[in-house]
Each structure stands twice: as structure tokens, then as C-alpha cells.
Amino acid sequence: MKDIEEKISVIIKACTDKKGFDVKILDISELSNVADYFIIVSGNTPNQVMAIADEIEDKMYLTNYDLLGKEGYREGNWILLDYGDIVVHVFRKEEREFYGLEKVWADGRELTLEDMI
């Protein structure tokens, strides 16, 4: 669990460093075999979405966590970063509202950083 807590903490800090907003941590471990957690964050523009994703990648690399996959970077509207047990969704605000990922995974348990400690 310590490893997960550290990963989530690094990701959240990277999001806030680049002014990402409406950050949500969803525990989907009981619902999916794809990942245990989704972290969802919004940015206002494609450039901000890309900057948030870049910051997450940089910070995770510096703490020796490998990125397993990345999708959507070129468009900058919805970037998916796969860290195995954690999948990060970095959305442009409008795309996040349109796709409603939180509603799709509404049975997941929303957590705060305090829940992880």
C-alpha cells in the first residue's frame, strides 16, 4: 500500500503544480482488473492538459515509476497515462464533462489523499 500512496501523492502534486483542478481519486479495485485506481484531473486548454501530463511523467520518472502507456497526447483533450495499478486521465474541462468518466465509474469509491494515509 505504501507504494500506491507514494505514486498517488506524486501524481497529485504534479497535477497541482501545473494548476490542474477538480482532481478525483477513484478506487476501482473491486470493479476492474484494468487498474486499482483512476486519477482524474482537468485543465482549461490543450496546452495546460499537455503540461499537466508532462509534469506527471517527469515526476513519476524521477521517482522511478515506469509509464506503461500513453494515449491522446497529440490532441491534448484527454490524455491517458497508464502506470499499471493507477491510470491517470488528464482532461480538458469540456471533454471531461462530455465523457462523464466519474458517472461511468460511479460505483468506484472516491478517496482523498487523507484516505490513503
**Averaged pLDDT for residues 19-32:** 94
Give a yes or no: residue 33 inside a domain: yes
- Which pLDDT tens digit goes with each residue over 98-107? 999 888 888 8
Which CATH number belongs to the domain containing residue 32 in this structure?
3.30.460.10
**Is residue 116 in a domain?**
no
**115 pLDDT tier (thresholds 50, 70, 90):** low
At 97, the amino acid letter reads E
* Domain carrying residue 44: 2-110
59 lies in some domain: yes
In a domain, 102, yes or no: yes
| Per-residue pLDDT reduced to its tens digit, 36-70 | 999 999 999 999 999 999 999 999 999 999 999 99
Confidence of residue 113 (pLDDT cuts 50, 70, 90): low
Q: What is the pTM of this model?
A: 0.93
Indicate the burial class of 84 (C-beta count within 10 angstroms; 0-12, 13-18, 19 or more).
middle
Q: Say how many domains are in the chain.
A: 1
